[in-house]
Amino acid sequence: MVNAQQVIGQMDIRIRLMALASATAMLLPVSASAQTPMVGAGTATCGDLAELYRMSPETAKSIFLSWTQGFLTGMNAAAVARAQNENPKPTSDDLIVAGVFDLHPRGMENESAWFRHLLQFCDQRPLAMFMVAAYDLLDEVLAHQDVEESRRLAKERLRRLKEIGSEANR
């Protein structure tokens, strides 16, 4: 039977971890440049990731991986926008040339592979900004790209863009 003190102790640990995660997110530095403001886990150091990971692996994974997913998705979205600026009706090859990439190529199929890569990078460079680790992950994801798979995904993105455009015009 679980007693009340054990439950309170477990709740206390969860509350402390939540407070730590919130404080970490709020205390992360913000760029002084008004042109390119940066906030979030990307502005933390790799050492910050390691410290939080030691205290709460799941919290660290949630915070830093969530930021990384948004970062990589944003890189892809920017590539789609570049392709559309060059050609209002881009082809799948236009998207590939613009830099659209598969987020989960063979060898980097899931976020666990991503997080292992980020941890390994950060373990070796505790003073680096976490954003540098995310760029290194992007290089790794790009190194695993399969051109035919990228074409297939680019065609799928074009199909979705056309659907969105036709829905907006209704």
What pLDDT was estimated at residue 39? 64
The tens digit of pLDDT for each residue in 94-140 reads 776 667 777 777 766 778 888 999 999 999 999 999 999 999 998 88
29-47 average pLDDT score: 66
60 or 166: which carries more pLDDT confidence? 60
Taking the CA atoms of residue 113, residue 117, residue 118 and residue 124 in that order, the dihedral angle to the nearest 10 degrees is 160
- Residue 29: phi, psi to the nearest 5? -65, 155
CB 47 within 8 A of CB 86: no
Mean pLDDT, the chain, rounded, equals 74
74-80 average pLDDT score: 82
* Cα–Cα distance, 154 to 161 (Å, whole number): 10
